[in-house]
């Protein structure tokens, strides 16, 4: 049986198809202005017998395709546990939200905290700041790591932070130092979330921001522990939904 999971996020859509415990398909597309249409294009490219949805657009998907849904929290817990059986903490930073999840010994969610009220500390925040400094999103983390120190950024509000960055650039401040300061501000916020929900143990960093080398470095340095990152960190939610689809009666 082919079991699929689709994660319809605010910025991108991920689709994973399993046959047993083997991943046979893995696709991604931008959410765009019509995420359900984008989702439809993805699912017509694969074979599946059942499908489960997660992410922001899961309820729209449920209405359009009569498919069961699961929360992002549970989907990420199941997906991360499949990839890293001993995981106890998950940090997911996506396009427009971030979440820290603690798991108990049996892999169930014991506590979580989520920031979905504003773009502060998310991929969107980093994207806007990168463009403010004249970097592409792909360059942003790499350029930040070339700085010997970071400039302190006072605000995590996207609007105020962008204004602060513009002012710093106008004063002739090194763009790389500003970039490092911005990364440090996101890490401080993320580490605060992690510490409020979890203790020690194996930690997984997932979501699109997990691709950023500066974020990975600063998280490990600040928490003083190894951070485990999936080969494709954006697929964890879709993988979890696919696994749960396979378990459904």
Q: What is the DSSP string of 194-233?
A: HHHH--SSEEEEESGGGG-HHHHHHHHHHHTS-EE--SSG
- Measure the CA–CA gap between 71 and 69, rounded to whole angstroms: 7
- Residue 198: both structure tokens together: 């979890």
Query: 189-203 burial string, b = 16+ CB within 10 Å, else e?
Result: bbbebbeebbeeebb
To the question of domain 86-229 being in CATH 3.30.420.40, the answer is yes
For 51-84, the pLDDT digits (tens) are: 999 999 999 999 999 999 999 999 999 999 999 9
Asked if the model's pLDDT at residue 102 lies above 70, the reply is yes
- Tell me the pLDDT tens digit for each residue of 211-230: 999 999 999 999 999 999 99
pTM of the model as a whole: 0.93
Three-state secondary structure readout of 17-48: EEECCEEEEEEEEECCCCHHHHHHHHHCCCCC
Confidence category of residue 159, pLDDT binned at 50, 70, 90: confident
Residue 67's nearest CA partner among 55, 53, 56 is 53
CA angle 136, 33, 239 (to 5 degrees): 75
H or E element that contains 247: helix 236-247
142 and 214 Cβ atoms separated by less than 8 Å: yes
pLDDT of residue 236: 98
Question: Which tens digits make up the pLDDT trace of 164-183?
Answer: 999 999 999 999 999 999 99
CB 227 within 8 A of CB 203: yes
Sheet hosting strand 50-54, strand order edge to edge: 22-30, 12-19, 2-8, 50-54
Same fold, 1-84+232-249 and 86-229: yes
Give me the residue spans of the domains in the chain: 1-84+232-249, 86-229
What are 8-42's pLDDT values in tens digits? 998 899 999 999 999 999 999 999 899 999 999 99
- The beta-carbon contacts of 99-103 under 8 Å, at least 24 apart in sequence, are 99/72, 99/73, 99/193, 100/190, 100/193, 100/194, 100/196, 100/197, 100/198, 101/73, 101/76, 101/77, 101/197, 101/198, 102/197, 102/198, 102/199, 103/77
- Arch. (CATH architecture) of 1-84+232-249: 2-Layer Sandwich (3.30)
Can you tell me the mean pLDDT for 121-149? 94
> What's the CA gap between 218 and 41, in Å, rounded?
37
Burial of 55 (0-12, 13-18, 19+ CB in 10 A): buried
pLDDT of residue 116: 63
């Amino acid at each position: 049986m082919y079991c699929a999971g689709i994660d319809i996020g605010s910025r991108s859509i991920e689709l994973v198809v399993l046959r047993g415990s083997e991943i046979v398909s893995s696709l991604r597309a931008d959410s765009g202005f019509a995420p359900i249409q984008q989702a439809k294009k993805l699912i017509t490219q694969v074979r599946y017998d059942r499908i489960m949805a997660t992410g922001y657009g899961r309820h729209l998907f449920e209405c359009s395709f009569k498919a069961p849904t699961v929360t992002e929290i549970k989907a990420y817990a199941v997906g991360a546990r499949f990839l890293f059986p001993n995981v106890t903490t998950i940090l997911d930073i996506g396009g427009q939200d971030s979440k820290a999840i603690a798991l108990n010994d049996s892999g169930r969610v014991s506590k979580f905290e989520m920031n979905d009220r504003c773009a502060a500390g998310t991929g969107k925040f980093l994207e806007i700041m990168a463009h403010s400094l004249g970097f592409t999103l792909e360059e942003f983390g790499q350029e930040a790591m070339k700085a010997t120190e970071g400039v302190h950024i006072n605000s995590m509000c996207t609007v105020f932070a962008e204004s602060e960055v513009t002012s710093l650039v106008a004063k002739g401040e090194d763009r790389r130092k500003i970039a490092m300061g911005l990364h440090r501000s996101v890490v401080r916020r993320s580490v605060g979330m992690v510490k409020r929900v979890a203790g020690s143990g194996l930690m997984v960093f997932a979501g699109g921001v997990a691709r950023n080398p500066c974020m990975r470095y600063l998280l490990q340095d600040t928490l003083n522990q190894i951070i485990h990152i999936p080969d494709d960190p954006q697929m964890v939610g879709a993988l979890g939904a696919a696994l749960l689809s396979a378990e459904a009666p």
